[in-house]
Amino acid sequence: MSEILDLLATIGRLLRAENVLILCHKNPDGDTTGSAAALMHALKNLGKEAAVLCSDPIPSRYSYMQIEPFTGQFDPGYIVAVDVASIQLFGDSIQEYTEQIDLCIDHHASNGGYADAMLLDSSAAATCEIMYDVLTAMNVEITPVIANCLYTGLSTDTGCFLFSNTTAKAHMLAAKLMEAGAQVEDLNMILFESKSKGRMAIELTALQNLEYHFEDRCALMYMTREQIAESGVGPNELEDITSLPRKIEGVQVGITLRQLPGASYKISIRTTDGVDACAIAKRLGGGGHARAAGCELEGNLENAKAAILAEVERELKRAQELTKQEQE
Amino acid sequence: MSEILDLLATIGRLLRAENVLILCHKNPDGDTTGSAAALMHALKNLGKEAAVLCSDPIPSRYSYMQIEPFTGQFDPGYIVAVDVASIQLFGDSIQEYTEQIDLCIDHHASNGGYADAMLLDSSAAATCEIMYDVLTAMNVEITPVIANCLYTGLSTDTGCFLFSNTTAKAHMLAAKLMEAGAQVEDLNMILFESKSKGRMAIELTALQNLEYHFEDRCALMYMTREQIAESGVGPNELEDITSLPRKIEGVQVGITLRQLPGASYKISIRTTDGVDACAIAKRLGGGGHARAAGCELEGNLENAKAAILAEVERELKRAQELTKQEQE
């Protein structure tokens, strides 16, 4: 298990560190990339060597972060992981650097404690929120580039201040980052106002495959592997599409079936208050949270649909009876 | 023209006012409704009579604002319009109350100055932002209900902190409202995470009618009046659909054609930086802003498409040549 550090102990170690290698998680998102880039710029501005390593390429839309990739230009003296909840999330290709990690900075409550030391705040909306506190405690100036990096993690992890992890502190930090020069108008355009042609195509397909069940209390849509391949959409662009069916007025359970390359179906379950997504998933061998859960089912589309719909019906009945009891 | 008031003069008048009638604009949105409701609660908490009047019904999703509608329960002694840019926007059915308006509180730079006195701040992201300053200057406690009302206007007018009018002050206010008890998680669900079945249906139709032109630099989609009628979507739900085509990667001009009941086509033009939407609209008798403009064209779909595409091509060529010149 990791030694648990507070902010002061964390900055003590960072200020003593030299030749700092910063590690992101695989499939890098805005938060791991933004935290890593912000820390890199801060350390470089303090006159230290620092660079960022990720097992997958950093998406080109984050080019404004001006990340210096690690290509062996120095011998790492201190290794920091940012926003990486478990050692499996590093990806195999950078294994030679993940065997002894000095420090992990993270906001995932589930963090496995793989690093020697850890600064963890699971109440933070994003690791970038913690990173802002680290940098200001280190007395580093929040330059416009650093502000852009931190805003990226903060805004993407909160779905642009929409998700339930959005706190007053998150809004306050957004204000501070804007005052420090974050180009929020341009960033919002890049991060939230852009969809690929493939994504548009698969969204159309999914909507064409939209069905309503149980007096419209459940909406279900599906995408076969052929349809996904035809659209040309990338796997990273498919995650948030699962939120679509639950957004329909009156729908309490939104189901998305997505056929995987091996032909099985990955099923995402999204529910409104009072309907337990995790209970549905668990009965089919999956798991997750109360409002968002998932499972994987073998077999063809009809079988997968029949199996998930039977469990949805059971859960909707339970929820309805509970509401009835509460009203009595 | 209106007498221009500052904050202090405004609160002086409101504190002296009795039997206050608060007017919203027609097709009420989150900002006019939220500002009106917040002011109503504040005045009532000060022991005054106050009620809200709008020519259209207040949408039921705003029921948490606990608005007391004006039904003649008192003889109006002071009339305040909130978030209403021009006298035409009141709607005819409340005309007997709009002939002499004592005060207008607004953030629209285009405000016509129809009221006797006006508190206007066009730098505010929403009228609710100004209303917060008014209420705190009046020393009114920001109760959770008032915080909910103000958050509604702030978040809806900024597209949940996404649009370019989002300022550091807007984020700061969101933080303060959360601290005052705004139930942001529930509100975001109601305001941003809910689409009617009709809206889903027309979105599918529009995506089915999506075309790419000029090497994918223009995306165009259309909806006929039959398709709109079939979907059952309400007119208020059609506005933001026009932002879809411009969001596609690489698309510089997004065009939406929507057939009106009289058979003409309402055309919405959305562009990225460097391409002038207003120039396109103006050549077809319309107008608007640099990134969002519109016009109306008579005739059938093919004619309307041909006319708008010709102007899009012309503007794309102009923009391309300008870029080329700048690079030379």
Asked whether the beta carbons of B84 and B25 are under 8 A apart, the reply is yes
Average pLDDT over residues A149-165: 94
Pair B183, B68 in one domain = yes
Pair B162, B205 in one domain = no
Pair B34, B73 in one domain = yes
The domain boundary residue, chosen from B192, B222, B239: B192
- Helix axis angle for B184-192 and B144-157, nearest 10°, is 40
Asked whether the beta carbons of B195 and B236 are under 8 A apart, the reply is no
Closest residue, chain A, to B187 (C-alpha):
A162
The pLDDT of residue A323: 86
- Using CB atoms, pick whichever of A168, A210, A246 lies closest to residue B178: A168
Asked whether the beta carbons of B34 and B149 are under 8 A apart, the reply is yes
Report whether pLDDT(B328) > 90: no
Average pLDDT over residues A175-197: 94
Q: Considering only A17-21, A157-161, A180-184, which range has the smallest mean pLDDT?
A: A157-161
With CA atoms as reference, report the closest residue to A270 among A280, A259, A262: A280
The pLDDT of residue A110: 84
Among A171, A173, A191, A209, the residue to mutate for chain B (most B Cβ within 10 A): A171
Give me B233's structure tokens: 């979507």
Closest residue, chain A, to B175 (C-alpha):
A168
Cα A166 from Cα B159, distance rounded (Å): 15
Min Cα distance B62 → chain A (Å) is 15
Give me B305's structure tokens: 């498409």
Q: Return the SS3 of B23.
A: strand
DSSP assignment letter at B101: -
Pair A20, A154 in one domain = yes
Model-wide pTM > 0.90: no
Report whether pLDDT(B165) > 80: yes
Asked whether the beta carbons of A294 and A266 are under 8 A apart, the reply is yes
Q: Strands of A50-53's sheet, edge to edge? A: A3-4, A117-120, A103-106, A78-82, A20-23, A50-53
Q: Strands of B103-106's sheet, edge to edge? A: B3-4, B117-120, B103-106, B78-82, B20-23, B50-53
Instruction: Find where tokens 């089919």 sit.
Output: A284
The domain boundary residue, chosen from B167, B192, B217: B192
The number of domains in chain B is 2
The pLDDT of residue A239: 75
> What CATH number is associated with residue A69?
3.90.1640.10
Contact pairs from chain A to chain B, CB under 8 Å: 106
Report whether pLDDT(A236) > 80: no
The pLDDT of residue A187: 97
Q: Which residues of A touch B195 (CB under 8 A)?
A: 247-249
Pair B158, B215 in one domain = no
> What CATH number is associated with residue B235?
3.10.310.30
Pair B306, B217 in one domain = yes
The H-assigned helical ranges of chain B are 7-16, 30-45, 127-137, 144-157, 168-179, 184-192, 197-208, 225-231, 277-282, 301-327
Pair B157, B288 in one domain = no
Report whether pLDDT(A164) > 80: yes
| B contact set with A (CB within 8 A) | 160-164, 166-169, 171-172, 174-176, 178-179, 184-185, 188-189, 192-197, 200, 203-204, 207-208, 210, 212, 216, 243, 246-250, 272
Give me A121's structure tokens: 């705040």
State whether B174 and A168 contact (CB < 8 Å). Answer: yes
Q: Which residues of A touch B249 (CB under 8 A)?
A: 194-197
Min Cα distance A176 → chain B (Å) is 7
Q: Which residues of B touch A208 (CB under 8 A)?
A: 204, 208
Domain range enclosing A221: 197-327
- For chain A, percent of residues with pLDDT exceeding 70: 99
Cα A22 from Cα A223, distance rounded (Å): 37
Average pLDDT over residues A36-41: 98
- For chain A, percent of residues with pLDDT exceeding 90: 82
Report whether pLDDT(B261) > 90: no
Average pLDDT over residues A125-133: 97
Instruction: Find where tokens 């969809």 sit.
Output: A195
The pLDDT of residue B289: 81
| Phi, psi of B89, rounded to the nearest 5 degrees | -80, 0
Closest residue, chain A, to B174 (C-alpha):
A171
Q: What is the pLDDT of residues A60-97, one digit of tens each?
A: 999 999 999 999 999 999 999 999 999 999 999 999 99
Torsion over CA of B125, B126, B132 and B135, rounded to 10 degrees?
A: 140
State whether B184 and A166 contact (CB < 8 Å). Answer: yes
Average pLDDT over residues B47-63: 95
Chain-centre distance of CA B188, in angstroms?
17
Cα A154 from Cα A147, distance rounded (Å): 10
Return the higher-pLDDT residue of A39 and A326: A39
C-alpha separations of A167 from A172, A243, B5, B87 in Å = 9, 21, 35, 39
Pair B171, B31 in one domain = yes
Pair A64, A81 in one domain = yes
Instruction: List beta partners, residue A30.
Output: none
Residue A259: partners with Cβ closer than 8 Å, 6 or more residues away: A222, A223, A224, A225, A228, A265, A266, A301
Pair B129, B30 in one domain = yes
Report whether pLDDT(B258) > 80: yes
Pair B10, B149 in one domain = yes
The pLDDT of residue B291: 86
State whether B197 and A207 contact (CB < 8 Å). Answer: no
Average model confidence (pLDDT) for chain A? 94
The pLDDT of residue A112: 86
Q: What angle do CA A162, B233, A277 make, to 5 degrees?
A: 45
Q: What is the pLDDT of residues B265-291, one digit of tens each?
A: 999 999 988 899 999 999 999 888 888
Report whether pLDDT(A214) > 80: yes
The domain boundary residue, chosen from A192, A222, A250: A192
| Phi, psi of B227, rounded to the nearest 5 degrees | -60, -40
Pair A12, A152 in one domain = yes
Give me B174's structure tokens: 């969101």
C-alpha separations of B189 from A192, A276, B36 in Å = 18, 17, 22
Predicted complex ipTM: 0.86
Residue A43: partners with Cβ closer than 8 Å, 6 or more residues away: A14, A17, A20, A49, A50
Pairing outcome for strands B292-297 and B287-288: antiparallel
Asked whether the beta carbons of A55 and A91 are under 8 A apart, the reply is yes
Average model confidence (pLDDT) for chain B? 94
Report whether pLDDT(A6) > 90: yes
Average pLDDT over residues B212-238: 92
Min Cα distance A235 → chain B (Å) is 17
Residue B182: partners with Cβ closer than 8 Å, 6 or more residues away: B144, B147, B148, B150, B151
Closest residue, chain B, to A159 (C-alpha):
B160
